[in-house]
Amino acid sequence: MPDPIATAVASQTAQSLTSQAGHAIAEVTRRIQHKFRDKPADLAILTAAQGESASPDQTAELARALDRAIAEDPAFGRDISTPWEQSGNLAITANGDGMVNVVYGKDDKVVQLRDLHGDLTIN
């Protein structure tokens, strides 16, 4: 679970999905900050991962820090998973002709297609 949570916290992508997701990420971030308050190195990892120029490596480092914290304190894992799960981020679905495209991370380009007929060239 920490990978999608770390990615959402680092990139704050969930804030663009729904207001409920944005509130969930804010709450998860607050809980992580509280957990890391006495661990300056882990708090620095969180801060770096949330920076505008954060790299995928920094997000992965945050995921590792969360994994360590959860291994030490499994209740913490449940504590940060609960608002994430309640926000609906794990169960985003489309009905009928609807489409859903959820991208975790910081991608330069994302392409979503539906009902493509013929050739496609992407450069």
Q: How confident is the model at residue 2 (pLDDT cuts 50, 70, 90)?
A: low
The pLDDT of residue 80 is above 70 = yes
Three-class SS of residue 62?
A: helix
> Above pLDDT 70, what percent of the chain?
67
Integer Cα distance of 123 and 111 in angstroms = 12
Give, to the nearest 10 degrees, the angle between helix 2-11 and helix 56-72. 130
Integer Cα distance of 70 and 80 in angstroms = 10
Q: How confident is the model at residue 76 (pLDDT cuts 50, 70, 90)?
A: very high
| Residue 69 pLDDT | 95
DSSP H or E stretch at residue 33: helix 19-36
Three-class SS of residue 80?
A: helix
| Residue 85 pLDDT | 75
**How many angstroms separate the Cα of 118 from the Cα of each of 98, 99, 114, 115, 121?**
22, 20, 12, 10, 10
Sign of CA dihedral 26, 30, 35, 40: positive
| Lowest-confidence segment of 24-28, 98-102, 107-111 by average pLDDT | 98-102
Tens of pLDDT, residues 26-75: 889 999 999 999 999 999 999 999 887 888 889 889 999 999 999 999 99
Cβ atoms of 44 and 37 closer than 8 Å:
no
Q: How confident is the model at residue 15 (pLDDT cuts 50, 70, 90)?
A: very low
